Amino acid sequence: QQPVQSPQAVILREGEDAVINCSSSKALYSVHWYRQKHGEAPVFLMILLKGGEQKGHDKISASFNEKKQQSSLYLTASQLSYSGTYFCGTEGAGNTPLVFGKGTRLSVIA
Amino acid sequence: NAGVMQNPRHLVRRRGQEARLRCSPVKGHSHVYWYRQLPEEGLKFMVYLQKENIIDESGMPKERFSAEFPKEGPSILRIQQVVRGDSAAYFCASSPRQGHYYGYTFGSGTRLTVV
């Protein structure tokens, strides 16, 4: 079951914050976040495991609420380099391959 | 520290021809995944392989598509008798193990165009 991401697209000015959500109808064991720039490979950002943990590096962080089967990615004080499409990938029990959402296109403008 | 290498980057095939896409995983990674991406779409899982074994091919069409990951050499995704609908970007990813703790490293993809 493909996770649902929202919003589909967002435009920010440099320095603004954004939240990208990812929700699933299935029980999740972990959530991965990736960023893909146009014409390039998706790049791994972080994994969140069940247990409701929150992670972050630099000004990008994420949370995972396993009871609600939701994860959110937080981008604070956005930079031009944050532009790209963000994908969440979800993993259920049984070590199954990641299932990705359709992505959220983020554009940061000066 | 080479990442996942995919080739070719671009491939043009006429309808009815065969397409072979190659993927060399990160050194030491024994798990390979193939995904397909259409414009404005997410990454659709196709097949998951370990060395010499297909673990999960639930996302791969039963006809015309096949995949392998031999003991020696790259993983190959093969599409026989291509049709226009096969035009897409095909990404390969690898991980050191399957499991909840490992992120995937993606290659730069092969963009297949069927004319």
How confident is the model over B16-62, as pLDDT tens digits?
999 999 999 999 899 999 999 998 788 999 999 998 899 999 999 99
Q: Which of the two residues, B63 and A50, has the higher pLDDT score? A: B63
Distance from the Cα of B79 to chain A's closest Cα (Å) equals 21
Say whether B101 and A47 touch across the interface (CB within 8 A): yes
Check residues B102 and B103 and name the one with the higher pLDDT. B103
In 3D space, the residue among B65, B112, B84, B104 whose CA is nearest the CA of residue B15 turns out to be B84
Using alpha carbons, select from B98, B91, B88 the residue that is nearest to residue B29.
B98
The per-residue pLDDT for A55 is 66
Separation of alpha carbons A48 and A64, rounded Å: 6
Nearest by CB to A95, from B35, B99, B103: name it: B99
**How much is the average pLDDT of A76-83?**
94
**Segments of A24-110 assigned E as strands:** 30-36, 43-49, 54-57, 60-65, 70-75, 84-91, 99-100, 104-109
Whether residue B42 and residue A49 make contact (CB cut-off 8 A), yes or no, is no
A105 closest CA partner among A38, A56, A57: A38
The span from the first CA to the last CA of chain A, in angstroms, equals 37
* Selected residue of A96, A104, A105 to mutate for chain B interface (largest B Cβ count, 10 A): A96
Q: With CB atoms and an 8 Å threshold, state whether B100 touches A30.
A: yes
State the residue for tokens 């193990």: B97
Best mutation target among B5, B32, B56, B104 (most A Cβ atoms within 10 Å) is B104
Amino acid at B52: E
The alpha carbons of chain A give a radius of gyration, in whole angstroms, of: 13
Is A29 within 8 Å of A91 (Cβ atoms)? yes
Check residue B20 and give its pLDDT. 98
Per-residue confidence band for A59, with pLDDT thresholds at 50, 70 and 90: confident
Q: Place A66 in a pLDDT band, splitting at 50, 70 and 90.
A: confident
Q: Return phi, psi of residue A94, to 5°.
A: 85, 15
| Cα Rg of chain B, angstroms | 13
Which chain B residues have a beta carbon less than 8 Å from that of A46? Answer: 103
8 Å CB contact of B103 and A32: yes
> Which chain A residue lies closest to B90 (C-alpha atoms)?
A41
Question: How many angstroms separate the CA atoms of A33 and A90, rounded?
Answer: 9
What's the mean pLDDT in A1-27? 94
Residues of chain A contacting B33 with CB distance shorter than 8 Å: 97-98
